[in-house]
């Protein structure tokens, strides 16, 4: 497994492979890896000859400086996990490598469509410009044939697909299923911050989503939403940001169940930790 820190070294390593027509996959991460990340690596290995995993805690996508500061960075552990998983290349650039003028912001923007400003975009202003900035830079550095993202960050996958369309990029975007703990909690690097009580309370998010998914055919939309929100609001230590049943492309709330790609999405603060989760309803 090669560990690379600069774009120049990465390009030098990948150029001969690209020339030889090896299929290259990219799995972008912010590290603090868990089984959810490893599932993306596994999916990538099935579809490509070379798997590049990037580990970069991207400052431009954080709206809360405290969140950035306390983001876990267990680098040695991450490298061992990727080595054991048979990953080929780990790309771990510095902030200056990816943003040469940092902390002066780069002003270019991508038109991600109106869904950029909904849900996560409403609670984390500028978040998806930060996400697409770094993913664009990673795509430029790696030139992958295919890139793997988790459905866990549902809106992120949508925004990246919109960016790929916007720039006419030739990269396939694959969305991979959410990996959960046995009790249903969606795996997340941020779960490490949950106290034992938070951990217990956080289960209400996946329970509310499961309720909606299992009753979607029987109950009407207002009832489903009311029940899910009540479950969450009645759980101590959990503060709901949003719970919505939306169209998977516009992210606008659906008005009837015939919508093409309905999805239930939730975000809430559990103790000091903000969590997101979702479930597809079709
Ligand atoms: P992150 O390191 O949190 O930026 O995540 C890197 C990638 O892993 C993103 O595409 C996430 O959507 C994906 N991911 C995070 N958690 C999970 C999970 N529980 N199941 C599947 N994919 C995940």
Q: What is the tens place of the pLDDT at every residue in 147-185? A: 999 999 999 999 999 999 999 999 999 999 999 999 999
- Same domain, yes or no: 31 and 68: yes
Q: Which residues of 138-156 are buried (b: 16+ CB within 10 A; e: fewer)?
A: bbebbbbbbbbbbbbbbbb
CATH code where residue 202 lies: 3.30.1300.10
Residue 156 counted as domain residue: yes
CATH code where residue 97 lies: 3.40.50.620
CA-closest residue to ligand 1 atom 10: 149
Give the total number of structural domains in the chain. 2
Question: Can you tell me the distance from the alpha carbon of 275 to that of 150, in angstroms, rounded to the nearest whole number?
Answer: 15
Are 96 and 11 a contacting pair, CB within 8 Å? no
- Same domain, yes or no: 143 and 196: no
Residue 69 counted as domain residue: yes
- Same domain, yes or no: 70 and 95: yes
Could you give the residue numbers annotated as active site?
A: 37
Cβ of 149 less than 6 Å from ligand 1: yes
- Same domain, yes or no: 254 and 155: no
Question: Can you tell me the distance from the alpha carbon of 248 to that of 265, in angstroms, rounded to the nearest whole number?
Answer: 10
Cβ of 179 less than 6 Å from ligand 1: yes
- pLDDT for position 43: 98
Distance linking the first and last C-alpha atoms of the chain: 39
CA-closest residue to ligand 1 atom 13: 150
Residue 181 counted as domain residue: no
* pLDDT band, very low/low/confident/very high, at 34 (cuts 50, 70, 90): very high
Residue 281 counted as domain residue: no
Residue 20 CA to ligand 1 center (angstroms) comes to: 30
Within 8 A by CB and 6+ apart from 265, the residues are 119, 154, 155, 242, 243, 244, 246, 251, 276, 277, 278
Within 8 A by CB and 6+ apart from 2, the residues are 13, 88, 89, 90
- Same domain, yes or no: 28 and 97: yes
Count the alpha carbons within 13 Å of 1 in the hemisphere toward its beta carbon: 20
Q: Which atom of ligand 1 is nearest to the CA of 177?
A: 21
pLDDT value at 282 more than 90:
no
- Same domain, yes or no: 133 and 195: no
Tokens encoding 268: 């809430």
Cβ of 39 less than 6 Å from ligand 1: yes
- pLDDT for position 18: 97
Q: What are the C-alpha distances in Å from 58 to residues 94, 99, 133, 145, 209?
A: 10, 10, 9, 22, 29
Residue 85 counted as domain residue: yes
- Same domain, yes or no: 28 and 161: yes
- Same domain, yes or no: 198 and 245: yes
Q: What rounded mean pLDDT belongs to the chain?
A: 97
pTM over 0.95: yes
Residue range(s) defining the domain that contains residue 200: 189-275
Cβ of 152 less than 6 Å from ligand 1: yes
Question: Can you tell me the distance from the alpha carbon of 87 to that of 70, in angstroms, rounded to the nearest whole number?
Answer: 27
Last residue of a domain, one of 127, 146, 176: 176
DSSP helix/strand/coil, 238? strand
Q: Which atom of ligand 1 is nearest to the CA of 37?
A: 8
pLDDT value at 260 more than 90:
no
Residue 237 CA to ligand 1 center (angstroms) comes to: 24
Cβ of 190 less than 6 Å from ligand 1: no
Within 8 A by CB and 6+ apart from 156, the residues are 120, 128, 131, 149
Residue with tokens 């309720």: 211
Last residue of a domain, one of 150, 176, 202: 176
Last residue of a domain, one of 176, 205, 220: 176
Are 204 and 238 a contacting pair, CB within 8 Å? yes
């Amino acid at each position: 497994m090669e560990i690379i820190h600069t774009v120049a070294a990465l390009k030098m390593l990948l150029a001969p492979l690209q020339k030889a027509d090896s299929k290259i996959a990219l799995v972008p991460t912010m590290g603090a890896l868990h089984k959810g990340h490893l599932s993306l690596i596994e999916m990538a290995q099935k579809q490509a000859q070379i798997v590049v995993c990037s580990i970069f805690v991207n400052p431009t996508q954080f709206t809360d400086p405290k969140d950035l500061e306390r983001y876990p960075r267990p680098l040695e552990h991450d490298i061992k996990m990727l080595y054991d998983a048979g990953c080929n290349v780990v790309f771990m650039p510095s902030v200056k490598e990816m943003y040469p003028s940092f902390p002066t912001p780069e002003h270019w923007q991508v038109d991600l469509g109106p869904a950029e400003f909904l849900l996560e975009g409403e609670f984390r202003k500028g978040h998806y410009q930060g996400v697409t900035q770094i993913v664009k830079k990673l795509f430029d550095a790696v030139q992958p044939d295919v890139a793997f993202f988790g459905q866990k960050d549902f809106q992120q996958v949508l925004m990246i697909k919109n960016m790929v369309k916007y720039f006419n990029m030739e990269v396939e975007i694959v969305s991979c299923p959410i990996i959960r703990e046995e009790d249903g909690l969606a795996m997340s690097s941020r779960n490490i911050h949950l106290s034992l009580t938070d951990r217990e309370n956080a289960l209400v998010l996946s329970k509310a989503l499961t309720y909606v998914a299992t009753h979607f055919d029987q109950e009407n939309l207002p009832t489903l939403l009311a029940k899910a929100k009540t479950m969450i609001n009645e759980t101590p230590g959990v503060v709901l940001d949003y719970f919505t049943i939306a169209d998977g492309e516009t992210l606008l709330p659906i008005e009837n169940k015939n919508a093409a790609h309905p999805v239930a999405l939730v975000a809430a603060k559990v103790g000091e930790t903000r969590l997101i989760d979702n479930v597809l309803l079709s």
